[in-house]
Each structure stands twice: as C-alpha cells, then as structure tokens.
Structure 1
C-alpha cells in the first residue's frame, strides 16, 4: 500500500457490522462543491467516504436481489468492481477485498455488502473508528428512489450552487458541452428531481448551498453533522494540510485544473465569478432557462423579463438536454455493461462533435 494512504483503518474493522452503519449521499450537479464537501467529511476520523464511483447503481441489476452470498459470488463481484469507472481511486487491492468480504457469506442484503466494500476504501486521512459511511456521486441525484430501497435508513445532502457559477466551472474543466441553456436546464432538472424526492421523505434530506458553506464552513458543517447524527470535528477544516498526500494521489495537471480548492482552506473566492466570465446574452439565457427555480433555490436572476430573441437562443440547448435525459431513460433499461459503456462514451462523442461543428458560435 502506498505510504500516503491511511493504514489505521484495518484496526477499526470489522468492529461494527456494516449493516448497522448509517449511510448518507451527497447529491448535486457536477462542479457544485461536492468534492470539497466529500473531502471535508473524509477528514473526519469517524466518517468513511470514498471518491465517486457509481457501482451501487451500476451493479444493482446483477446483484441487487441477491440475499445469500457465496465465495463464488464474491469473486464475481470483485472482478466486476475492477471494471467500474474510477473504482481504482479507492486504492483497494482485489485480493484484500475478496478476503475481507468472505466473512459476510450467507444471508446479507446487497446494501450491507456495498457498505462492506466502502469500509475497505483507503483514506488519506486518519481513521479512529467508523460510525458513518458517506457517498459522493453527482449521478446518484437521479436514483434517490433506488438508493432508498437499498438503504432504507439513508440520508441525503442536497448541495446547490449558483447555476451561473456552475456553468462557468463546468466550461472551464470541460466536463460538459459549454452551452449555457444546456447546463442550466440540467441544473434545473436535478433541482426539481431532488426536491421532489425530498418532499416524499422530508426528514431524510438536508439542503445546503455551496455559498453558505464557503462563507460559514464551521457553522454549516455543524448543522450538517447534527442532521447526520455525528459530532462536528475540527479536523474537518484542516483537510488541506494533507497537501503532499493529495498531490501524490492526483495527476498534477488534473489537480490544478479540477481540484485546486482541495489545496487551500475553505474560502469564498469561487462565488460570483460568473459576473466576470459570462456575457450579457449568456446571463439572459441562463436566467430565462432557470425561471422561477432560481428564487426557489435561493438565487436571484438579473433578467426576469421575456425576450423572443433569448427564447430562440435558448431552445437548442434546452432541447439537447431533453434529448439527453430521454436517451438516459432508455439506456437505463439496457444490461449494466452496455449501459455503462454508452453513458461513459456518449459525452465524449457529443463533445467532439460540438467542438468540431459548433464551438465558435456557442452562446
């Protein structure tokens, strides 16, 4: 195991049956501050929260209904995990994981086995006993119903960020096509989806604005920790002090471009930079696309009036977003390997097509 990884976690396992450990999920759009929030919790000595990897949903069609686990099934599961996108970032040796899982042979739920896998994540931070498991996967925002079925006790943190800042951040790291109406429509779609789920289970959801976290990190973390049933730990705010360990884990170019905030204390430098990076036309398109949901989420539009020109300019991005979600709904009915391949390759195909034909004229 690399020296920068925490080895103390082995001492804490299996002190508690994974089934008894509560779990929470951070739900958000990409580039909303979810990696920062995950890292803040990863620095908590009693919380186990790996980087993102959507294996719970991806592997559910194959393993979700299994209630009796055998060595053969565990072997298949470990092999399938190695093929999951980003699972390698958890730094779990396959043989070590397989050996650990053998103690859970027999009657166990899929959720319990998933928690056991989470417990094997090798954190950069010291752990002195795990009492809570966390997850950060932006894509899980669309699967809250399934996650609640797998983990009936699950809690959810709905993290939001100004939709205009979110667009600028997404464009800078090239995570999605840089079309204002497209990214803002997705923002609204996620917000509506998560809000609908929260109304069905209000005691299981906590809404947190990135701006509030950045302006008052200790105060907001105290509230979130209270919601999750754990005590705030001051070590959460010293996450950036593991700078060398973080640098050893991430590619330098990726770290500087995508996760630079992990190298500094929580601050407000990324709030409101849409004001210097978006044109008036782009702001009008964003404000039109978001509509009334800006105020519902606690944000203020600059332009609330109707303009036929802006309406026409927004339609291509809005229609593309609708087409993407319709395609996703269809692809979700495919076997998991085909589904994973399509959903992982489609953004790159669309991105290449966009750059080749439309990037210069994008709004």
Structure 2
C-alpha cells in the first residue's frame, strides 16, 4: 500500500454524535488541511442521482450543481466563500455526483489557501467506493464512539434519531459499513479511531492520525478550540457548544447518565455484537431484553423531537436555517419524483429531513 498523495482528501466516516466536530476542528487547525462543516451533499443528493440523468451532459450537470449549491446556501453552518457554479458545470472534479461535490470542496480549498480538503459528513461511510473512484489516494478516518454515549447525545440533539433504539439501529448499520470498508481497502486507506482514545490521549492519537495522513503534527491541532472556526461553530447551536472548549474526556460514559437502564439495554440488544467487536462492553442482560414496540418507539420519538425542537427554537442561532434546509430537501425530492428516479435512503430508519444532520 502506497502512502496518501500529498493533496489527497480526508473523509471522516462513522456516525454523528461521535465527536466528528471535534475531529474536524483538530484537523482544520492544521496548516495544510481545511475541513469546513459539511452540507451533507451526498447524504441528501445521492438518493436523487438517477433523476438527474447522465451527468456527462452539461444540462443535467447544471441541474445537479444548482441543487447542491442550493443546499450550500441553506447550510446550517455557513461557508465563508462563494462557490462558482459555472466552473463546476464546465469542469467537475470527477465523474458522477461525487465529482460535483469534490469540485465544490476544491473551490473552498483554493479560497482558504490550504493544500488538502476534508469532509466530515459521516454519512460518507456509504460512499467510500464513489470517493476512491475519483481520488484513489483518499484517506478515511473511521471515528467510532460507544453507542450508548451516542444515543444519549442524540436524545437531546437536533441531529440524528432521538429514540435510543433507532439510534442504535443506525449506529450498527454504519459501523458495519465502515468495517466493510476497512476489510476491503485495508488500514492504509481506513484508519479506525475511537473517540474515547482521542479524548483520553489526544497528543498520541493525533500523532498516529497524522502519520496515517502523511502529515506532521502541529501544536495548533490541540489548540483547535481557540480558532475562529471553533468559535463560530460553538456559537451556532447548543449541540456544538463544546467546540469552543479544549479536548476533554468528561463525556466518556455519557450513556450512563443520559439513558435509563432499559434504554441502555435496548442499545446493547441492537448493537451488541458490533459494539463488542470494537472493544466496548455489552450488558449480558441485553440478549433477553424485550425490544420496544413500533408504536411505542414512534410515540416516544415524537415526544422527544417536540422537546428538542422547542429547545432549539429558543437556543440555537441556526434553528431557522435548519428548518429552511429541511423544507428545501423535501422540495428537491418532490422535483426528483416528478422527473423520475428518486431512490429513498437504504437506511430505512427515519427520513433524513426529519431526523436532521449535523
């Protein structure tokens, strides 16, 4: 396995609420790397890809570029620079939808004057092959966190399924996809990083990560919280407040505080084998725990979501932007249905526009 190309992109994959904003800001603080907060282009546009037709055709490509830039304009975490649609239509970075996405990121990279761009949309775990088809030297950081802690965070955040049982289902599916990528392309392409190790031993883990990426560690990476990017992130939403703080291990074990016993057992019932394979303990009672009924999950999800939205409306500066984005996503899906070729998400848990994305 050869090392990464000097300018190859970096993608953080896994599951939201696993510390991806922390890792994004650590890497973004490097003098050669820029990782803007993601509009989740592939997450929202990949199900529409067939409706665009052949993206080798300039008219079809223009339609896809227009939809992608519409997402960017409604992004819950604004980018600092304008992206020129004409340049992408005339010369995308590669074939297919990801070629368009890559061209958008490339314009951002050029605007900020860094050598490499990265993407922290953890949903890219489902598009590893697409990325490697355009950038064979791309590198993926599989960031994983104890699913009970993930579910505890999601229970109170606007991003991700709020019900622990649903969050566990999504966590299991995404870790299985990440494991398949690691098995297929190997540790030279996919680097497994546990959130708990990152926050407990940041200097060591950042050093190992830089070795994987072919970069030299820089002191600024562990002072990420002092950057303008961290301050901007921390000020936009309650779920991101810790972005403006130093690396801390105080959120390890959050599931013991944020979930009740039954909820933790539900998570372990769903995620148990995968959780155990990644070095996390599983409660032996989980196997005999009764799964919640579908109606119970649905009703509890509505209750949790109502609380979350009320709190977000009061506390989050980007609340209206998120609602505008979600309306826009539904509009894109309606247009795709009219054109033909809309393919709903294969995840089958909760529609993306309702469950949100960080």
Shift of 1:158: 0.7
Shift of 1:153: 2.2
* Residues 289, 314 of structure 1: 8 Å contact kept: no
Shift of 1:280: 1.7
Q: Identify the residue that residue 215 of structure 2 maps to in structure 1.
A: 230
Shift of 1:56: 4.9
Q: Identify the residue that residue 163 of structure 2 maps to in structure 1.
A: 179
Q: Identify the residue that residue 351 of structure 2 maps to in structure 1.
A: 346
* Residues 10, 139 of structure 2: 8 Å contact kept: yes
Q: Equivalent of 2:67, from 63, 80, 97?
A: 80
Query: d(CA) in 2 for partners of 1:225 and 1:136?
Result: 16
Q: Identify the residue that residue 8 of structure 1 maps to in structure 2.
A: none
Shift of 1:303: 3.1
Shift of 1:279: 1.6
Structure 2, gaps ≥5 residues long: 300-332
* Residues 93, 103 of structure 2: 8 Å contact kept: no
* Residues 44, 235 of structure 1: 8 Å contact kept: yes
Query: d(CA) in 2 for partners of 1:306 and 1:107?
Result: 49
Query: d(CA) in 1 for partners of 2:293 and 2:211?
Result: 41
* Residues 51, 342 of structure 2: 8 Å contact kept: no
* Residues 37, 120 of structure 2: 8 Å contact kept: yes
Task: Describe the superposition over 1:268-311 as per-residue Cα deviations: whole angstroms up to 9, x where unpaired.
Answer: 1111122122222222222222222221011012334632xx22
Query: d(CA) in 1 for partners of 2:91 and 2:153?
Result: 46
Shift of 1:144: 1.9
Structure 1 133/141 Cα, relative in aligned 2: closer, same or farther at 3 Å?
A: same
Moved more, 201-210 or 169-178: 169-178
Equivalent pairs counted in the alignment come to: 306
Query: d(CA) in 2 for partners of 1:107 and 1:267?
Result: 40
Tell me which stretches of 4 or more aligned residues in structure 1 moved more than 6 Å.
62-65, 72-75, 314-320, 333-337
Structure 1, gaps ≥5 residues long: 1-18, 321-330, 352-363
Is it true that 1:274 corresponds to 2:259 in the alignment?
no
Query: d(CA) in 2 for partners of 1:63 and 1:219?
Result: 45
Task: Describe the superposition over 1:131-188 as per-residue Cα deviations: whole angstroms up to 9, x where unpaired.
Answer: 3221111221222222222322222111100110100100111324432221112111
Q: Identify the residue that residue 311 of structure 1 maps to in structure 2.
A: 290
* Residues 126, 177 of structure 2: 8 Å contact kept: yes
Query: d(CA) in 2 for partners of 1:24 and 1:349?
Result: 28
Query: d(CA) in 1 for partners of 2:50 and 2:171?
Result: 27
Query: d(CA) in 2 for partners of 1:206 and 1:240?
Result: 24
Q: Identify the residue that residue 358 of structure 1 maps to in structure 2.
A: none
Q: How does 1:100-115 map to 2 (within 5 A)?
A: 101=87, 109-110=94-95, 114-115=101-102
Q: Identify the residue that residue 4 of structure 1 maps to in structure 2.
A: none
Normalising by structure 1, report the TM-score.
0.70
Q: Identify the residue that residue 166 of structure 1 maps to in structure 2.
A: 150
Q: Identify the residue that residue 240 of structure 2 maps to in structure 1.
A: 259
| Structure with max Cα Rg | 1
Is it true that 1:47 corresponds to 2:33 in the alignment?
yes
- State the SS of the aligned residue for 2:162: coil
- State the SS of the aligned residue for 2:203: helix
Query: d(CA) in 2 for partners of 1:20 and 1:230?
Result: 9
RMSD, aligned CA: 3.9
Q: Identify the residue that residue 319 of structure 2 maps to in structure 1.
A: none
Q: Which protein has greater RCO, CA pairs closer than 8 Å, 6+ apart?
A: 2
